[in-house]
Amino acid sequence: MSTTSAKPRGVHDAPRYGDRIFAGAATGAGVIILLVLAGVAGFLLWQALPALTASPEDVRGGKGLFEYIYPLAFGTILTSVIALVIATPLSVGIALFITHYAPRRIALALGYVVDLLAAVPSIIYGLWGVYVVAPASVPVATWLSNWLGFLPFFGPSPSASGRTTLVVGVVLAIMILPVMTAVNREVFLQTPRLHEEASLALGATRWEMIRQAVLPFGRSAVISGAMLGLGRALGETMAVAIILSTAVGVHWDIIGTANSSTIAADIALQFPESSGLDVNTLIAAGLVLFFITLLVNMAARWVVSRRSEFSGAN
Partner 1 sequence: MKRTTSAWSAVPAALAISLTLTACGAANEDSGSGSSASGSASSGTSVSGTIAGAGASTQTVAQQTWKAGFEGANPDATVNYDPIGSGGGREQFLAGATQFGGSDAYLKDEELAKVPASCGEVIEYPVYVSPIAIAYNLKGVDNLKLDATTLAKIMKGEIKTWDDPAIKALNEGVDLPNTAVVPVHRNDESGTTENFTDYLHAVAPDVWTDKPSGTWPVSGGESAKGTQGVVQAITAGEGYIGYADASQTAKLGNAQIKVGESFQGPSAEAAAKIIDESERVPGRGQYDFAIDIKRDVASEGVYPIVLASYTLACTKYADQKTADLVKAYLSYTVSPEGQKAAADAAGSAPISDGATKNATTAINAISAG
Partner 2 sequence: MPDADLHALDQPAVRPVPQPTPAAPRPPTDTPLLHRRLPRFATLGMLAASLAVAILLGLTVWSLNPVALLLETAVLYGVAVFVTSSVVEGRRNAVDRLVTVVVTTFFLLALLPLVSVLIEVVGQGYQRFDLTFFTYSMRGVVGAGGGAYAAIVGTLIITALTTAVSVPIGILTAVYLVEYSKGGRLGKVLTFFVDVMTGIPSIVAGLFAVALFVLFLGPGARAGIIGSVALSVLMIPVVVRSTEEMLRLVPNELREASYALGVSRWRTITKVVLRTAVAGIVTGVTLAVARIIGETAPLLVTVGTTTSTNTNPFSGRMATLPVFSYYEYAQPGIPREPYLDRAWAAALTLIIIVMALNLIARLVSRIFAPKTGR
Nearer to partner 1, 33 or 132 (CB): 132
Rounded CA gap, 144 and 147, in Å?
A: 5
Nearest to 81 by CA among 230, 216, 186: 230
Q: How far is the CB of 6 from partner 1 (least distance, A)?
A: 20
Our finding on whether 235 is near partner 2 (CB under 8 A) is yes
Q: Which of residues 214, 234, 240, 244 is near partner 2 by CB under 8 A?
A: 234
Nearer to partner 1, 162 or 178 (CB): 162
Site string for partner 2, 90-129 (x = CB under 8 A): x--xx-xxx--xx-x---x-x-xxxxxxxxxxxxxx-xx-
82 binds, among partner 2, partner 1, none (CB under 5 to 8 A by kind): none
Nearest to 201 by CA among 209, 190, 210, 189: 209
274 binds, among partner 2, partner 1, none (CB under 5 to 8 A by kind): partner 1
How many of the chain's residues bind partner 1 (CB under 8 A)?
31
Residues 6+ apart with CB under 8 A from 284: 48, 51, 52, 65, 69
15 binds, among partner 1, partner 2, none (CB under 5 to 8 A by kind): none
User: Which range binds partner 1 by CB under 8 A, 191-199, 205-213, 273-281, 289-297?
Assistant: 273-281
**Measured torsion, CA atoms of residues 159, 162, 165, 166, in degrees rounded to the nearest 10:** 110
Q: How far is the CB of 2 from partner 1 (least distance, A)?
A: 25
Our finding on whether 187 is near partner 2 (CB under 8 A) is yes
Q: 12: helix, coil or strand?
A: coil
DSSP 128-197: HIIIIIHHHHHHHHHHHHHHSTTSTTS-SS--SS--SHHHHHHHHHHHHHHHHHHHHHHHHHHS-HHHHH
Q: How far is the CB of 275 from partner 1 (least distance, A)?
A: 4
Residues 6+ apart with CB under 8 A from 243: 126, 129, 130, 133, 134, 163, 167, 168, 171
Footprint of partner 1 (CB under 8 A): 18, 60, 130-131, 135, 159-161, 163, 241-242, 244-249, 257-258, 261, 268-276, 278-279
